[in-house]
Amino acid sequence: MILDYETLKLVWWVLVGALLIGFAVTDGMDMGVGILLPFVGRNDGERRVVINTVGPHWDGNQVWLITAGGAIFAAWPAVYAAAFSGFYMAMLLVLFALFFRPVGFDYRSKIADRRWRNAWDWGLFTGGLVPALVFGVAFGNLLQGVPFHLDSLLRAHYEGALLTALLPLLNPFALLAGLISVAMLTMHGAIWLQMRTEDPVAGRARRAVRVMGLLVVAGFALAGLWVAFGVDGYRIVSQPALDALPNPLAKQVVRAPGAWLDVYGRLPVAILAPAAGFAGALLAMLLSHAGRPGLAFVASALSMTGIIGTAGLSMFPFIMPSSTHPGSSLTVWDAPSSHLTLTVMFWAVLVFLPLVLAYTVWCYARMWGKVTVDAIEADSSTAY
């Protein structure tokens, strides 16, 4: 079976979105646990319990981020180039924050000194909070448009100073998106802790689920109103055939209030995405309160899928709109690699993704169970 070029362009939009959701659900859980670490663990033993719930899995979960980055590079090279120009300082900030995670997990318990361990606890907190915030800020800026343009050779040029490029990204709407991201991942991590620990850590995690869930619902509602009435969207006026060779400058684009809501008129079923975002968060809070963290975890993953899906569907077919030169905006139809590249990658995904998923499920199944202080003290040689 050989898919036509237009279909492959759409398929890779779905696959990249699935990789981003997979990263949010798996590694986002680790980040949420890191954010909660200094607060749900009141002593060294409790904090070691918290760390050991994600210690065996965090590096495997982070592969989702690496894979998503590689997929964007291979499937949408123009987006990759433009993003590294516009978000360069933000990406460096994420990278430096992520350094705390491998070092913190491996070295935190090597020295039995309270100050040493407390410093690494806050390092793990930083390694969870900063990436969660920056990823949300990035989505907020994508919805508003990024100041770049393409020249006649299709080279991306970011219109801003490199060293001060981070400051314009921290605008009010983008910060709201960042706070939604932090609350969403922290709620997810809290449910994981409730599922894998015992009281008193589990009880504190359950209270965190309620607080963060309310922030997710309120923030998501406010962001939706802001997008509807305060953020100009983008609309394609004319473009080449959808299966044509990529040429972002061959289309005409206009900015218009409310344009990000067009998809819900063209495709009413798209309303299921924001509905899942709200319903999943509310259901996660109810199930967590009822002592059903396993089902709450599924509901939280549904909420994350709905929130990320809402952003993707609202922007479709735009991937990276340009706020200064709308005609330079990159879309699903004019940013991808060649037909051959997308085809080869598609078959590679069909072969290897099921293997990765099967291995991941096996790892979680083999290492399942409650993590307790007694278990860590009894076998401290293998504990974090």
Grade residue 380 by pLDDT with cuts at 50, 70 and 90: low
- Give the tens place of pLDDT for each residue, 323-337: 999 999 999 999 999
pTM metric for this prediction: 0.92
CA-CA distance, 255 to 145, in Å (whole number)? Answer: 10
301 Cα distance to chain centroid: 12
Which range marks the domain in which residue 352 is found? 5-378
Structural domain includes residue 227 = yes
Structural domain includes residue 204 = yes
Q: What is the CA radius of gyration of the chain?
A: 21
Structural domain includes residue 384 = no
Q: How many CB atoms lie within 10 A of CB 63?
A: 15
User: Is pLDDT of 167 > 80?
Assistant: no
What percentage of the chain carries pLDDT values higher than 70? 97
Concatenate the DSSP letters of all residues of 89-102 into one string: HHHHHHHHHHTHHH
Structural domain includes residue 261 = yes
Structural domain includes residue 128 = yes
**Helices and strands (H and E) in the chain: how many:** 15, 6
Our count of domains for the chain comes to: 1
Query: Which one, of 345, 238, 237, lies nearest residue 9 by Cα?
Result: 345
What percentage of the chain carries pLDDT values higher than 90? 62
- Phi-psi region for residue 155, left (φ > 0), alpha (ψ -120 to 50) or beta? beta
Of 87-91, 105-109, 302-306, the range with the highest mean pLDDT is 302-306
Structural domain includes residue 34 = yes
Is residue 186 a contact partner of residue 30, using CB atoms and an 8 Å limit? no
Structural domain includes residue 383 = no
Least confident of 82-91, 123-132, 182-191, 329-338: 82-91
Grade residue 119 by pLDDT with cuts at 50, 70 and 90: very high
Query: Which one, of 332, 363, 310, lies nearest residue 6 by Cα?
Result: 332
Grade residue 161 by pLDDT with cuts at 50, 70 and 90: low
User: Is pLDDT of 383 > 80?
Assistant: no
Structural domain includes residue 211 = yes
